[in-house]
Amino acid sequence: LSSSSTYTTPPSVLLLGPDNAGKTALLTLFERGTKPASTHTSQVAHSIELNASTDSVTRSSFRNHDDATGTHTKFFLVDTPGHGKLRNVAMGKLARTEKVKAVVFMVDAAALGEQETLAPTAAYLYDVLLFLQKRATSKGKDKASIPVLIAANKMDLFTALPATMVKSHLELELSRIRASRSKGLLDSGVGMDDVGSEEQDGWLGEYGSEKFTFQQMGEFDIDVEVLAGSVLTEEPGADKWWWWIAQRI
Ligand code: GTP
Ligand code: MG
């Protein structure tokens, strides 16, 4: 048995997203393998150890997570508080957790049709994506970029937007946020060619583009995918998210 693998820190997958999205419910579902626990608003980060496989028979279901066939990869799933006042806790996890292999950004698809949910959700996502973009462009040793899954949760509710609309709503709102945050720059009359790298660094996605799309993150090697699911019901369930994670750890 190789001792090196024993002492290696397992990779981490971070659960980010606004309050009430269902992050803790998802963590308990993966932990138990059966049904999620009832939850309270999280005030601290909490991580559990899980195992995922890409080559067992039941690989695409989270229900196989404690399978001990030896084909499984151990990883930490890190839940974070979504409340805006605790944003530093979540962003601190993103900045300081070792070996982050992926970010699952969970959203409440049933509430995203409301501007009062969409705006803060997109603002948080903006900060996460900009952080990852800056990390990807800085010349550090930890250069591998971190993929993002936008987990569109609560598909069991009739108000839930389908994944395509979750995507388009978020892209539109991110475009708005980007425009307003760069307003000072655009109003200053500085031509695009005169803009320094510092300004470009603060711009999310393709520099100077009018509309933000998740595809623009590809320029920084950051893959963003939107997948619909539900923590509380079997259908569509959480298997798609699990499979996405399993392929990235
Ligand atoms: P914070 O800890 O405040 O950041 O929230 P959170 O993202 O951890 O949310 P939590 O897991 O506590 O879930 C919030 C509420 O949404 C709970 O009442 C859950 O039962 C409910 N919920 C989670 N997933 C689903 C789902 O798929 N469908 C429905 N209908 N409700 C869900
Ligand atoms: Mg929570």
CA distance 211 to 173: 10
CA 12 to ligand 2 center in whole angstroms: 17
CA distance 134 to 71: 34
* Predicted local distance difference test score (pLDDT) of residue 246: 94
Residue-wise pLDDT tens digits, 197-231: 666 778 999 998 999 999 999 999 999 999 999 99
Residue 5 has pLDDT above 60, yes or no: no
Residues 6 or more apart whose Cβ sits within 8 Å of residue 26: 15, 36, 104, 106, 151, 153, 231, 238, 241
C-beta 229 within 6 A of ligand 1: no
CA 195 to ligand 1 center in whole angstroms: 43
Q: Which residue, 151, 176, 155, 170, is CA-closest to 241?
A: 151
Residue-wise pLDDT tens digits, 20-79: 999 999 999 999 999 999 999 999 999 999 999 888 888 888 887 666 677 789 999 999
Residue 4 has pLDDT above 70, yes or no: no
Least confident of 2-6, 19-23, 45-49, 232-236: 2-6
What is the DSSP-derived secondary structure letter of residue 113? T
C-beta 20 within 6 A of ligand 1: yes
Residue 25, token pair as written in the block: 């419910």
The closest-lying atom of ligand 1 relative to the alpha carbon of residue 233 is 27
CA 95 to ligand 2 center in whole angstroms: 19
Q: Residue 192: which pLDDT band, with cuts at 50, 70 and 90?
A: low
* Predicted local distance difference test score (pLDDT) of residue 213: 98
Q: Tell me if ipTM is over 0.95.
A: yes
Residue 118 has pLDDT above 90, yes or no: yes
Residue-wise pLDDT tens digits, 158-177: 999 999 999 999 999 999 99
C-beta 43 within 6 A of ligand 1: no
**pTM assigned to the model:** 0.93
Residue 101: strand, helix, or coil: strand
Instruction: Return the best residue to mutate from 232, 233, 241 for the ligand 1 pocket (most ligand atoms within 8 A of CB).
Output: 232
The closest-lying atom of ligand 1 relative to the alpha carbon of residue 27 is 11
Mean pLDDT of all residues in 134-141 = 80
Output the residue whose Cα is nearest ligand 1's atom 15. Answer: 20
